[in-house]
Amino acid sequence: MNLVVIGAQWGDEGKGKMIDYFAERASFIVRFSGGANAGHTVVIGDETYKLHLIPSGIIYPDRNVILGNGMVIDLEAFFNELKMLSDRGIKWEGRVFISDRAHLVLPGFKKIDVETDKKRQHPIGTTGRGIGTTYSLKASRDSFRVVDVLDPLILDELAEEDRNFIKKYFDSLKKMTTDTSLLLWENKDKNILFEGAQGTLLDIDHGTYPYVSSGISSASGASQGSG
């Protein structure tokens, strides 16, 4: 069974609670859009977990989670979340998979994000996390996917700040990177939960444009953003 959970408004509709309910019954939990600008809070007993990139099903043993190709990933935020999980006794090794075609938020992109919004006559508001800039560069074919930066020749072409940033995480990133579309196909008979972020009215096509996010946060994003 495949199940997609999305928000019908601008986010904060309680998706995290629904995702937590269904995650216990799923083999794979997949994020398919957005980046560290989204967030889900899950409360289990006395424990509260706040996650922005990693699908919240990771807190359940034996559940696998996928960061899909439709996401834009800030590696610093991602590895900080993994550390938080480790510190709280969550064993995630071997259960986290990153799409080789997901795009990366580089340090330079965050600066562009803030500067671009300041220059607008009517700023639309930005979290300053580089999400919009990364999606814009993706559309203009000037961004970098995970598979790109794992190629030493392409890595050397990056600006020094961005190159050094990637190198800090290179080995760990490589271990988690795979063709997640193939992984999902190989497990198509299992229960797969697609974890939406934000809400339909923040969708780049179906939302209250221009006051939207840059990703596909409606139901259609589940297939596009996971392959």
Which residues are tagged catalytic?
12, 40
* Whole-angstrom distance, CA of residue 149 vs CA of residue 70: 17
* Structure token pair of residue 71: 């996401």
**Nearest-angstrom CA–CA distance, 30 and 195:** 6
Secondary structure percentages of the chain, helix, strand, coil, to 5: 40, 15, 45
| CA separation for the pair 195, 223 (Å, rounded) | 12
Torsion of the alpha carbons at 209, 212, 221 and 197, rounded to the nearest 10: -150
Residues 6+ apart with CB under 8 A from 10: 198, 199, 201, 202, 207, 208
Q: Which of 53, 146, 139 is nearest to 106 (CA)?
A: 146
Residue with tokens 């050397």: 156
**Are 95 and 101 in contact, with CB atoms under 8 Å apart?**
no
In sign, the C-alpha dihedral spanning 98, 213, 163, 144 is positive
Written as six digits, the tokens of 154 are 């392409």
